[in-house]
Amino acid sequence: MAKVEIRDLHKSFGDNEVLRGINCNIEAGEVVCIIGPSGSGKSTFLRCINCLEEPTSGTITVDGHVMDANSPDIDSYREDIGMVFQQFNLFPHLSVMDNITIAPTMRKKMDMAQATELGRKLLASVGLEEKADAFPRSLSGGQKQRVAIARALAMQPGLMLFDEPTSALDPEMVGEVLDVMRHLARDGMTMAIVTHEMGFAKSVADRVLFIDEGIIAEEGTPDQIFSNPQNPRTKSFLDKVLEA
Amino acid sequence: MSFFELLQESLPLLLQGLGLTLWLAFISLVIAMILGILASLAGLSKHAPLRALNSAFVAIIRGTPLLVQAYFIYFGITGVLGIRMSAFTAGVIALSLNAGGYLSEIFRGGIQAVDPGQNEAARSLGLSRGQTMRRIILPQAIRICIPSVVNQWCITIKDTSIICVIGLAELVRQGSQIIARTYRPFEVWIMVGVLFFIVIWLLTLLARIVERKVSLG
């Protein structure tokens, strides 16, 4: 059984059919990068995996659990799926440490001392030990995103979803966030990453999905996709983004 | 009687009235805040009957004068049900329902003003709807609401004066009784006005300090 199994996933917003039948598995330990033109449905696809968007039809299972926003167990399923957002979405009224400890203390009934210890370790791993008592507003974009990654990791998830994690960053801060993600990948985390960073996808992904007009138009190893794309739409997309 | 003699004679009674005004306003606002938060959550619920209940509540409170609400509760309801109710109890019920209706709209606006990404981040960590509301959304919504909430507190403190019509000896009623005895409306209404003004001014000052302390900007 794959870590994530997606069968015939459709999603419409009103008359607008954003996803038109997606089938895909993600194996444990695999790093999958999802690329494609804007508006192609990449983010919607990712957000369906943890049910932030409810599919119109189709099924998604994670660790064998059917993901359904109305399931009484959806909260506990989500505990095991970390998510990192383009806009960081740190909690502005909480300190960096509280951002990280809130979920483990509330959901896993971890005591504060234990959660703080975990928080320190995670902050150290993203290079922000000294920011534990800072508030999000005082951090740079890159620092915010690293805290957001630490916050997601605090639940010790088996799967991490990244929704364009570097798209809102100033160019000089992209690298520090990608480095953290690279380390995670090396440590064996299962990751699904929607990204425009082709260089990163090429070097870190085990598999690349090219999504266009709501379907997986092409998939393969980074080598296959970037050096030898078969679908003309993949070619034209890569020509556009790589020449820029 | 000189102004100072008048002041000396009136002040104890006026302060007594002010005490009642503040007590009435305080109890009513505590209830109204709780009612307002619950009603705003009902207004944002995914269950249609709860939303309808909230809409009806807000429409009735907004659509009728507080004076009518107070009369209705003190004379109307007690008459029909044959129960006895003190003027203070009736005043608290009228004021807390009234302020609660307005506060519910203020809170609803505040909750909706919180970035939807906050909800998504909290839910993606596994927090339930209720945990997300309590720990993530409401703390931010309340900060957004502070100016409007303080505004409503000021209005309610002054609205206690309407409750004098059901016979409660609050500040305004004390004032008019002194005037009936002394026939000095000019000075006495100034005293009453100044007392209200000081209370509201202190409250606003306090609110501004709190606002600066908790600001996220």
Q: DSSP 3-state assignment of A30?
A: coil
Range A146-153 average pLDDT: 98
Q: What pairing do the DSSP bridges indicate for beta strands A207-212 and A31-35?
A: parallel
Q: Does B146 touch chain A if contact means CB atoms closer than 8 Å? A: no
Range A70-83 average pLDDT: 95
Give residue-wise pLDDT tens across range B68-111. 999 999 999 988 998 889 999 999 999 999 999 999 999 999 99
DSSP A53-89: S--SEEEEEETTEEP-TT-TTHHHHHHTEEEE-TT--
CA distance B21 to B168: 9
Token digits for A100? Answer: 């990280």
Rounded CA Rg of chain A: 18
CA distance A47 to A10: 13
Identify the pLDDT of residue A244: 63
Identify the pLDDT of residue A142: 96
Token digits for A64? Answer: 């064998």
pLDDT tops 60 at residue A210: yes
Cβ neighbors of A173 (< 8 A, separation 6 or more) are A140, A141, A142, A145, A166
Identify the pLDDT of residue B79: 87
CA of residue A35 relative to chain centroid, distance: 13
End-to-end C-alpha distance for chain A, whole angstroms: 40
Q: Does B113 touch chain A if contact means CB atoms closer than 8 Å? A: no
Number of H helices, E strands in chain B: 10, 0
Give residue-wise pLDDT tens across range B88-97. 999 999 999 9
pLDDT tops 70 at residue B217: no
Angle at the Cα of B36 (from B34 to B41), degrees rounded to 5?
100
Give residue-wise pLDDT tens across range A91-139. 999 999 999 999 999 999 999 999 999 999 999 999 999 999 999 999 9
Q: Which residue out of A43, A75, A81 would a mutagenesis test of the B interface target, given it has the greatest number of B Cβ atoms within 10 Å?
A: A75
Nearest-CA distance from A153 to chain B in Å?
9
Q: Does A90 touch chain B if contact means CB atoms closer than 8 Å? A: yes
pLDDT tops 90 at residue B34: yes
Token digits for B177? Answer: 């009784």
CA distance A113 to A120: 11
ipTM: 0.94
Identify the pLDDT of residue B169: 86
Q: Does B205 touch chain A if contact means CB atoms closer than 8 Å? A: no
Give residue-wise pLDDT tens across range B156-179. 999 999 988 888 888 999 999 999
Strand order in the sheet with A207-212: A81-84, A159-163, A190-194, A31-35, A207-212, A215-220
Residue B214 with chain A: CB contacts under 8 Å: 93
Q: Which of B127, B214, B216 sits opposite A107 (nearest CB)?
A: B127
Alpha carbon of B209 to those of B141, B206, B213: distances in Å?
Answer: 18, 5, 6
Residue A83 with chain B: CB contacts under 8 Å: 120-121, 124
Identify the pLDDT of residue B104: 97
Do B216 and A151 lie within an 8 Å CB cutoff? no
